[in-house]
Structure 1
Amino acid sequence: MLMVFFMIGSLMISCFFNISWAYLYFMISVFIILLVFYLYSEIMLFGSLLFEIFGLDLLSSMLIMLSFFIMLLMMLASVNVCETKNEFSFLMSVLCLGLFLLLSFMFLDLMMFFICFESSLIPIFILVVGYGYQPERIQAGIYLIFYTMFGSFPLLLSLFSMYWKFFSWMMMYSFLMNNMMSNLLMILGSFLAFLVKLPMYMIHLWLPKAHVEAPVAGSMILAGVLLKLGGYGIMRLMIYFNEVLLMISKYFFSISLIGSLIVGMICLKQGDLKSLVAYSSVSHMGLVICGLFSFCYVGWVGVIFMMVGHGLCSSGLFCLVNINYERLMSRSIFLGSGMMLILPSLTMWWFLFSVINMSAPPSLNLLGEIFILFGMVSWNMVSLIGFMFISFLSCGYSLYMYSLSQHGGGSGAYVNMLDVSVSEYSLMFFHLVPLCTFF
C-alpha cells in the first residue's frame, strides 16, 4: 500500500507545485519498479511474509514490473498524442490504469481483485474512444466493454455465491468449492471472465477491433499487460479448482490449439499491419492457454516466460506500426511497401522484432515456447503436431509482415518524410534489451 500512498501524494504535490505530469509519472514508475525489484529479490528469503502483507510472489512481482515498464515506454511513444490532444486527461488515464493494474496484482481478496480487474477497462475505454484515429473507434469501444462485461458477469455471481457459503472472498477459501460438482457451471463461469480477457479463440473478436482503433499507447498496454491479467487470474484460481478443471481441460486445450491454427491462417491474409499484429497476439495467447491447461509445472514456467516475452515483443511491433503510420498516414502493408528504400535505419528493427515474434533465439519467446511444448507433450503427444503447424504459421506471417512492409517498389510520394528520431530509436532499444538479456 506504500506504493499507492506515494502515487496519491505525488499527484497532490504536482497539483500545488505545477510539476510536469510526464516527469511525475516517470518518477513514480521508477520508484515502483525499484521497490518491486527489491521485494522480488527478497522473496526467496521472506516469500510467505511478503505474500501475506503485499500479495507479492514471483508471478505478481514480474507482472507489476512489466506493467510499469510498458507504461514508461507508452509515455515515450505518445509524445505526438500529448501535443495534439488533452495531455492532462491522457496522463490521468494512464495513471489510473497503472494504479488499477498494481492493485489487481497485489490483492488476495477476490472481490477487490474483481473490482480492480474490471476497473482497468475504464482507462482503456477512454484511450480507445477518446484518442483513437477513426470514427469506428466507437464500435471498437462498445465491443471492448460488452465482451468483457458479459464475460465477467458469471464471475461476479460466483463470488457472491462463494461469500454466501463461506462468508469470505479470500482466494484460499475457494478450494472448498473444488469437490462440489454442483459448482461446475459456477467454476466455468468464473474462468470465462479470464478467457475473454486473454482472449481465447471464439471470444476474441473484441481484441482486433480495439487494437486497430486504439492509439499506440492503448495498443501497447492492451497487448503488453491487459491480456496478461487473464492469464494471471487463471493461474491464481486454477490451483483451487484443479480437480474440476482436470475433467474439462481437454475442451479448453483443443479449442485453443485449433484456434491458434485458424488465427495463424487469418494472419496470412491481413492487409492491415496493426490487425496482423493483433491476430498474432490471439494466436500466441492460444499457446498460453494450452500451457495453462496442461497442468504441468514446466508448462506454467513457459506461460510466464511467454506472457512477459509476448508483452514486450507485441508492444514493440505496435510501436513500429505507429512509426510507419505517423509518416505514411496508412497502416496498409501494400501502400507502405518498400520502406527499406525510404527509412533503411528502421529496417533492422523490423527484422529483429519479426524474428522475435516467430520465437527465434535469443528471446524470451523461444524459452516460453520450448517450456510450453514440454507441457503440451506431457499432456498429450498428439498436440506436438498442432504445435508444429502453429510454429510454421508463426514464421510465415512474421516473414510476410517483414518482407511486404520493407521490400517492394515503394512510392515516390514518401521520399521527403521525416527521419526516425532519437526517442523512437530509444523506444525500440528499450523494448529489445529485456527480451534478449533475460534469455
Structure 2
Amino acid sequence: MMKFFFLLFFLIPLCFLKNMFWLVQIMLFFFMFLFMNLTMGAMNFCNLGYMMGCDMISFGLIMLSIWICSLMIMASESLYKSNYFYKLFLMNVLFLLIMLYFTFSMLNILMFYLFFEGSLIPTLILILGWGYQPERIQAGLYLLFYTLFMSLPLLLGLFFIFNNIDTMVMYLYKFYESNSLILYLSMVLAFFVKMPMYFVHLWLPKAHVEAPISGSMILAGIMLKLGGYGLLRVMIIFQKMTLKISNLWIVISLVGGFFISLKCFCQVDMKSLIAYSSVAHMGLVIGGILTMNYWGFYGSYVLMIGHGLCSSGLFCLSNMNYERLGSRSLFINKGMMSYMPSMSLWWFLFLIGNMAAPPSMNFLGEVELINSMVSWSWLTMVMLMLISFFSAGYSLYLFSYSQHGSYNMGLYSFYTGVSREYLLLFLHWMPLNFIFLKFDYSIWF
C-alpha cells in the first residue's frame, strides 16, 4: 500500500513545473489503473504493511477517491486557462487525495481519525481559495465547526477503547463488545455529522453552494462517504447498543429524508437542489447501516459509491451551465434544450441515476436498503415510498425546469459542450452504470 503513497507524493513537484496540468491528471488515471489491478482477498485485509491494508470496503472507496480527484482536475480547466493559482490547486488536490488514501487504508483507528479530520483542511482551502462568493468564508466556518464539534468526543472514545483492550487495530475490534451509551454516542455522532444526518446537515448545502466545481465534486463524491465508512468500521463494537437505540436514528434519517425531499422543490439554485438531494440519499444510507443486517451494510456501501459518481456528475453539469450563463438560478437556466441539445441527454441520464433508475448503482443500492429496512420494520415502508417518489419528483422538476421552457432573452452569446466536458460526463456515467454488471461481488464481504 505504501508504494502508491510514494507515487502520489512524487507527483507533487510536478505541479510546480510549466505546462504540467494535464500530465498530473494523466498520472492520476495511470495510478487508478495500477490500483485497480491490485490483488484483493475475498474476506480479510490484504496488502498489509506499515499499519496499512485493504479490504473490499476500502478498495472501492479508494478507487472512487482517485477517480473523482482525477476528474476534478479535468473539470477545473477554467483555472488553468485563466492562470488562477492552478499550481497550488493541483498540489491541494494531490494533498487531499493522499489524506483520503490514508483514511481508507489505515488499520490503526487513531491514524484513521487523524486523516479523517485532516482531509477537512484541503477541502476548506478549496472552498476559501477558489470559491465564488464572499459568503464562502461563512460556509467554510460552518463546515469546520460542524465537523470539528463532534470530533473531540470521537477521539476520547478511541482512547477509552484503547485503555480497555490495549489495541487500536480495527480488525481486532470484532472481539470487543461495548454496552456504554456515552461511548456509543461519542463514537457515532461524529460520523453522523459527516454524512450528514438530518438536524446536523446545514453545513452541506452552504459548503456546496459556495464551493468551486472541484470542491463540490469532492464533497459530494468522497467527504460524505467518510462518515459511512467510519460507521461501517465501528458498528461491530456496538452491536447490542445499536439494536437498542437504532430506531431513533432510523426514524430521524427517514423522516428527515422526506422533509429534505420536500425542501428540494423549494430550491431555485441548481447546486443547492443537488446538495439537498445528497442529504436525502445519505439518510437512506444511515438507515441501512443501523439495521445491522447484511443487506443494509452492502446496500449502503453500493449506494455510497453510486451516489459519489452520480452527484459529482450532476455538479459538473450545473457548473457547465454556470460557466456559460454566469448564474445557477433556475429562473435563468431555462430552455437549455434549445442551446445544448446533446447536453440535455446527459442531464437526463444523470437525473434518472439520481432517482435510482436501473441500471445505475443507485438502483441496486436503494433496492437493498429498502429490503433491509422493511425486514427490520414494515412501518419504514411508508417513509421509503415517500422518499423514492419525491426523489423522482425533484429530479424531474430540475430536468423540466432547466431544459424546457422559453430561454432567457438576456443571453447574447453561447457555445455548446466541448469534447473535454463530454468525456468528463462519460467518465462519471460509465462506471455508475456498468459496475452494475459486477454486483455479484456482494458475496465478498
Q: Is the 8 A contact 2:299 2:368 kept in 1?
A: yes
> 1:112 maps to what in 2?
111
Aligned residue-pair number: 433
For residues 238-249 of structure 1, the aligned pairs below 5 Å read: 238-249=235-246
Residue 22 (structure 1) shift: 3.7
Do structure 1's residue 383 and structure 2's residue 380 form an aligned pair?
Answer: yes
> 1:82 maps to what in 2?
80
Question: Quick one: which amino acid aligns to residue 414 of structure 1?
Answer: L
Residue 142 (structure 1) shift: 0.3
Q: Secondary structure at the match of 2:430?
A: helix
Residue 51 (structure 1) shift: 5.4
The partner residue of 1:194 within 181, 191, 195 is 191
Q: Distance in 1 between matches of 2:261 and 2:87?
A: 39
Q: Distance in 1 between matches of 2:14 and 2:148?
A: 35
> 1:124 maps to what in 2?
123
Residue 372 (structure 1) shift: 0.6
Listed one character per residue, the Cα deviations across residues 123-180 of structure 1 (whole Å, up to 9, x for unaligned) are 000000110000100000000000000121110111222233334322245456624x
The partner residue of 1:361 within 355, 358, 380 is 358
> 1:429 maps to what in 2?
426
Q: Distance in 1 between matches of 2:296 and 2:144?
A: 31
> 1:166 maps to what in 2?
165
**Which has the larger helix fraction?**
1
> 1:42 maps to what in 2?
40
Structure 1 runs (4+) deviating above 6 angstroms are none
Rate the CA distance shift 1:343–1:409 in 2: closer, same or farther, 3 A: same
Q: Distance in 2 between matches of 1:318 and 1:10?
A: 27
Rate the CA distance shift 1:407–1:245 in 2: closer, same or farther, 3 A: same
- In structure 1, stretches of 5+ residues that fail to align are none
Residue 8 (structure 1) shift: 2.1
Q: Is the 8 A contact 1:364 1:438 kept in 2?
A: yes
Question: Quick one: which amino acid aligns to residue 239 of structure 2?
Answer: N
TM-score by length of 2: 0.93
Question: Quick one: which amino acid aligns to residue 360 of structure 2?
Answer: S
Residue 243 (structure 1) shift: 1.4
> 2:26 maps to what in 1?
26
Question: Quick one: which amino acid aligns to residue 200 of structure 2?
Answer: I
For residues 120-159 of structure 1, the aligned pairs below 5 Å read: 120-159=119-158
Residue 48 (structure 1) shift: 4.3
For residues 307-318 of structure 1, the aligned pairs below 5 Å read: 307-318=304-315
> 1:68 maps to what in 2?
66
Listed one character per residue, the Cα deviations across residues 52-110 of structure 1 (whole Å, up to 9, x for unaligned) are 77421111001111111111111110000233310111111100100000000110111
Residue 36 (structure 1) shift: 2.5
> 2:320 maps to what in 1?
323
Q: Distance in 2 between matches of 1:403 and 1:18?
A: 44
Question: Quick one: which amino acid aligns to residue 135 of structure 1?
Answer: P
Q: Secondary structure at the match of 1:55?
A: strand
Q: Is the 8 A contact 1:175 1:241 kept in 2?
A: no
Q: Over the residues paired in the alignment, what is the CA RMSD in angstroms?
A: 1.8
Q: Is the 8 A contact 1:51 1:57 kept in 2?
A: no
The answer to which of 262-271 and 4-13 deviates more is 4-13
For residues 241-280 of structure 1, the aligned pairs below 5 Å read: 241-280=238-277
Question: Quick one: which amino acid aligns to residue 329 of structure 1?
Answer: G
Question: Quick one: which amino acid aligns to residue 112 of structure 1?
Answer: M
Q: Distance in 2 between matches of 1:42 and 1:206?
A: 36
Q: Distance in 1 between matches of 2:48 and 2:281?
A: 30
> 1:281 maps to what in 2?
278
Q: Distance in 1 between matches of 2:90 and 2:18?
A: 14
Listed one character per residue, the Cα deviations across residues 299-318 of structure 1 (whole Å, up to 9, x for unaligned) are 21111110111001100100
Q: Distance in 2 between matches of 1:118 and 1:50?
A: 24
> 2:442 maps to what in 1?
none
Q: Distance in 1 between matches of 2:240 and 2:216?
A: 36
Listed one character per residue, the Cα deviations across residues 174-193 of structure 1 (whole Å, up to 9, x for unaligned) are 456624x4x32122111111
Question: Could you tell me the percent identity over the aligned residues?
Answer: 46
Rate the CA distance shift 1:30–1:424 in 2: closer, same or farther, 3 A: closer
> 2:12 maps to what in 1?
11
Q: Is the 8 A contact 1:82 1:90 kept in 2?
A: no
Residue 47 (structure 1) shift: 4.3
Q: Distance in 2 between matches of 1:426 and 1:6?
A: 25
> 2:208 maps to what in 1?
211
